[in-house]
Structure 1
């Protein structure tokens, strides 16, 4: 496993050096907001800014955890844990925000598949929960959760990144372990079916994508792998595909230990990252402020 990890890191460093030759870099100011030291937050792999509680963030762990999400504050301290009733999660890898009928919703992505053997992957969709006064734990009822089953058009894949376009509510997923990470999509909010076949849209000139997000107004997209963050400015409100096919800009990013999560914040030109805690290392909530390209 160690040799495999070393090979992956060497490949990512090589591709990073190649991409650095052509990509314009966006400068940032990076601030450590706080340490994620709660015992339950051991393997954070997804983050999204709360719409109901500005300044707070929804996070989750990946494989090995139960179906649950956590609300943390602006310094990474636990506010509340919510258990998803009746959900047998296998490998939750990302989380996204959706606005529907004037209400805020969470989309939790059970899409991890390291060995590419799952016959299907799943999304869990529910209204953003509310904290009860004095409660640190609560439950989201099974009847309030919509389960959406997804299949790839060809074969199983590992994936850790999703986002939903706020302009047309189309769902997007990015594969991880393909030689070129690949973008897939589906209209999961139009027909309200229980099962969808993903559509392959395009390939990226990099691999090992671990997270992605789109800004609240749909005018910017960020994608990260273990060593880099890539940025696209959606200037004309054009299609996601056309935007992502245009040249990206590379964000000045400091590598985190097993850094797998990224999300735009409510504040203009700001995003946050957070990581797992491998080998007992500390994990911090970082804020990145950048100048709009």
Structure 2
């Protein structure tokens, strides 16, 4: 009987630890408004980890090959043209490692394909530039970009979610126009000289995925649709894609007209969202419970 009690107490303790690993978030609040009219369809967003309180955004199709740096208030800090890049249908942006150690890179996903007619998609990679939050508006070129050309193993797809694993540089693309969105991976190092065929590694429990991000420590994954968002926890030592086989944590979103962009903050302690419109609000969802195991 004593042994049974120990087992039950141990089980309860493990269950409590498991619950503690799941982060909880506060209700969203507006922290700023995108102040420039140059950003009319913010399709992707990512928080800089080297430039404090800087967000990188880009437009959907129709803009030139450039990205924008803003602060949390939404003030435009810089316009950065990407050399040797083309904008067919840019849909998402990520930050991750690359060829040079200790260097953060911007990854820009030219992955939109509404008609599922293009044989390949392209991810552009450039070193993340330094941004002066107190200086005059910066306008410069960065690059030239590395072009990473990717192919689906099962034919063309439309996608709007690009993520880069901060622990190993693997690229993840999640499709949009499916009943259940599919997750594809291109392991690092990706070729910049020839096409790379991705592997399908997971399937989401829902479809119409339009944006996503991985926390800077690689332990949390967030993916959103237009009206829903979910998070998955990645245990230590596990491949990122296996997190999608675990239970999802449903997250709150604010009501946004065609909201597509989502990203973690630089610490992984909360997440931002923004929508495709002129002067969209910038929403932030802070952490209410921080788990040591998921946010080391």
TM-score range, shorter chain: 0.7 to 0.9
Contact preservation (8 Å) 1:257, 1:283 = no
SS at match of 2:189: coil
TM-score by length of 2: 0.84
Q: Does 1:285 align with 2:276?
A: no
* Correspondence list, 1:99-178, <5 A: 99-100=97-98, 101-131=101-131, 134-141=136-143, 144-178=144-178
Give the deviation of 1:269 after TM superposition. 2.2
Contact preservation (8 Å) 1:219, 1:237 = no
- Summarize deviations over 1:163-208 as a string: whole Å, max 9, x none: 1112222111100001210000012426554420111112111000
Contact preservation (8 Å) 1:26, 1:249 = no
- Summarize deviations over 1:104-127 as a string: whole Å, max 9, x none: 111010000111111211011010
Give the deviation of 1:251 after TM superposition. 0.9
Q: Which runs of 4+ in 1 moved over 4 A?
A: 24-27, 190-193
Distance 1:203 1:190 in 2: 22
| Structure 2: 5+ residue stretches without partners | 1-21, 292-296
Distance 1:256 1:25 in 2: 23
Q: Matched residue pairs, number?
A: 265
Quickly say closer, same or farther: Cα 1:185–1:48, change in 2 above 3 A: same
Give the deviation of 1:28 after TM superposition. 2.1
Distance 1:25 1:228 in 2: 17
| Structure 1: 5+ residue stretches without partners | 1-23
| 1:40 match | 38
The more displaced of 46-55 and 264-273 is: 264-273
Distance 2:194 2:69 in 1: 28
Contact preservation (8 Å) 1:80, 1:131 = yes
Distance 2:126 2:268 in 1: 27
Quickly say closer, same or farther: Cα 1:127–1:194, change in 2 above 3 A: farther
**Aligned-residue CA RMSD (Å):** 2.0
* Greater radius of gyration (CA): 2
1:70 to 68, 71, 81: 68
SS at match of 1:209: coil
Distance 1:31 1:53 in 2: 23
Distance 1:269 1:52 in 2: 16
